[in-house]
Amino acid sequence: MTPLKRIHAIVHGQVQGVFFRDYTQRRARHLGLGGWVRNLPDQTVETVFEGEADKVEAMLAWLHEGSPHSRVSAVDAVEEEPIGENEGFFVLY
């Protein structure tokens, strides 16, 4: 069985109003990850995603690149204990 990994990240830069959440959801679903993404009042984006470790690492690498119109300046990410939340990836409002 492939080990699971969970990441909680805050993405800084020009990441709101540029479809960043939508692209994040698409990428996570493509990788088969579960979790969520949402905008925060300070103009950052928060996301939590969980799944196979190699796919989580690929998602984390993608966050540093961002969506086509975003400009990511930093990603603060911490690893958390997986909780089995690997079904469905949602945009929270």
Catalytic residues: 21, 39
Distance linking the first and last C-alpha atoms of the chain? 34
Q: How far apart are CA 43 and CA 69, in angstroms?
A: 15
Q: How far apart are CA 27 and CA 15, in angstroms?
A: 15
